[in-house]
Amino acid sequence: MYPYVAFLWSFLNPEAKAAATALARALEGANLGWTLAFVSTGMQVYTRPTRADLREYPLPSSRGVILGRLFPADPRNLAQGWEPTLTDRDCARYLDSGGRRLAEDYWGAYIAFLTSPEQPHSVVLRDPSGKIPCYRLRHANVDVLFSDIADLAALPLPPFTFNLRYLAALIYLSTLEIRESALTEVTEILAGECLEVHGSSAEQRIGWDPCSVASAARNCPGDLQAAHRLRWITQACIDAWASVHRRVLHCLSGGLDSSIVLGCLARSPSAPAVVCANHYVEDAEGDERAYARIAARRANVPLFECGWSSETFAFDARLLALPKSAKPGFSQCARLIHLEAINREADRYEVDAVWKGQGGDHLFLKAPNIASAADYLADHGLRWGLGRAVRDAARHSMQSYVSVLSSALFSGRANPSRETRRAERKAHFVCPEALPDDLEGYLAHPWTLAAEGLPAGRQRQIQLLAGVVNRHRPMPGMEVAYEHHPLLSQPIVEQCLSIPTYLHLKGGKYRALARAAFGDCVPREILHRESKGATTSLTVESIRRCASFLCELLLDGLLVRERLVERVQLESCLRDGRALAPDQLPPLLACIAVEVWARAWSRTSGAQSPVRPR
Residue-wise pLDDT for 139-166, tens only, equals 999 999 999 999 999 999 999 999 999 9
On whether residue 588 sits in a domain, the answer given is yes
317 and 441 co-located in one domain: no
194 located within any domain: no
Instruction: Flag whether pLDDT at 538 surpasses 60.
Output: yes
329 and 408 together in one domain: no
**Residue 196 belongs to some domain of the structure:** no
pLDDT at 415 over 90: no
Asked if the structure places residue 431 within a domain, the reply is yes
pLDDT band at 390 (very low <50, low <70, confident <90, very high): confident
Tens digits of per-residue pLDDT, 182-221? 999 999 999 999 999 988 889 999 999 999 999 887 777 7
Contacting residues for 531 by C-beta, under 8 A, at least 6 apart: none
Is 182 a domain residue? no
Instruction: Provide the H-helix boundaries in 30-58.
Output: none
**Would you state the pLDDT for residue 20?**
96
Predicted pLDDT at 413: 43
Q: Is 561 buried (19+), middle (13-18) or exposed (0-12) by CB count in 10 A?
A: exposed
> Residue 425: its pLDDT value, please?
64
Give phi and psi for 24, each to the nearest 5: -65, -40
Based on the fold, state whether residues 451 and 429 are members of the same structural domain. Answer: yes
Q: How far is CA 345 from the centre of its chain?
A: 24
Kindly tell me if the per-residue pLDDT of 458 is higher than 50: yes
- For residues 74-85, average pLDDT: 88
Residue 55 belongs to some domain of the structure: yes
Residue 265 reports pLDDT greater than 50 = yes
Residue whose C-alpha is closest to residue 46's, from 128, 130, 147: 147
Q: What is the pLDDT of residue 71?
A: 97
* Number of domains making up the chain: 4
496 Cβ neighbours under 8 A, 6+ residues apart? 230, 363, 364, 461, 504
Largest CA distance in the chain: 71
How confident is the model at residue 612, as a pLDDT?
A: 56
Q: Which residues pair with 144 in a beta bridge?
A: 7, 137
How confident is the model over 26-31, as a mean pLDDT? Answer: 92
456 with 489, same domain? no
Q: Are residues 145 and 287 in the same domain?
A: no
251 vs 463: CA distance, rounded Å: 26
Q: Are strands 55-58 and 193-198 parallel, antiparallel or unpaired?
A: unpaired
Instruction: Check pLDDT > 70 for residue 609.
Output: no
Range ranked top by mean pLDDT from 116-125, 331-340, 597-606: 116-125
pLDDT at residue 495 greater than cutoff 50: yes
Domain at 496, CATH number: 3.40.50.620
Window from 311-315, 372-376, 422-426, 491-495 with minimum mean pLDDT: 422-426
Give 15's pLDDT tier (boundaries 50, 70, 90).
very high
| 167 found inside a domain | no
138 and 33 belong to one structural domain: yes
Angle between helices 490-497 and 456-469 (to 10 degrees): 160
Q: How many angstroms separate the CA atoms of 146 and 155, rounded?
A: 12
Of 527, 548, 567, the residue at which a domain comes to its end is 527
Instruction: Please report the pLDDT score of residue 284 as a whole number.
Output: 61
Tell me, what's the pLDDT at 505? 92
- Specify whether 233 is located in the same domain as 299: yes
Asked which of 527, 544, 568 is the last residue of a domain, the reply is: 527
Cα separation, 229 vs 227, in Å, equals 5
The answer on pLDDT for 95 being more than 80 is yes
pTM of structure: 0.94
Residues 403 and 291 in one domain: no
Q: Is 199 within a domain?
A: no
What tens digit of pLDDT does each residue of 279-332 get? 888 776 668 899 999 999 999 999 999 887 767 788 888 899 889 999 999 888
Neighbours of 306 (CB within 10 A): 14
Residue 270: phi and psi, rounded to 5, are: -75, -15
Shared domain for 242 and 332, answered yes or no, is: yes
Query: In whole numbers, what is the pLDDT of the chain averaged over residues?
Result: 90
Q: Does one domain contain both 448 and 489? A: no
**SS3 state at 176:** coil
Assess whether 78 and 102 both reside in one domain: yes
Percentage of the chain exceeding pLDDT 90: 64
Show the domain range for 304: 213-363+468-527
Distance between CA atoms of residues 273 and 265, nearest Å: 10
Angle in degrees, CA 593, 160, 29, rounded to 5: 110
Query: Does pLDDT of 420 surpass 50?
Result: no
Mean pLDDT of 574-586: 82
Summarize the confidence of residues 257-285 as an average pLDDT. 91
Report, in this order, helix, strand and coil percent for the chain, each rounded to 5.
45, 15, 40
Q: Is the per-residue pLDDT at 423 higher than 60?
A: no
Is residue 124 within 8 A of residue 38, CB to CB? The reply is no
pLDDT at 409 over 60: yes
Q: Among 427, 446, 461, identify where a domain stops.
A: 461
Same domain flag for 576 and 476: no
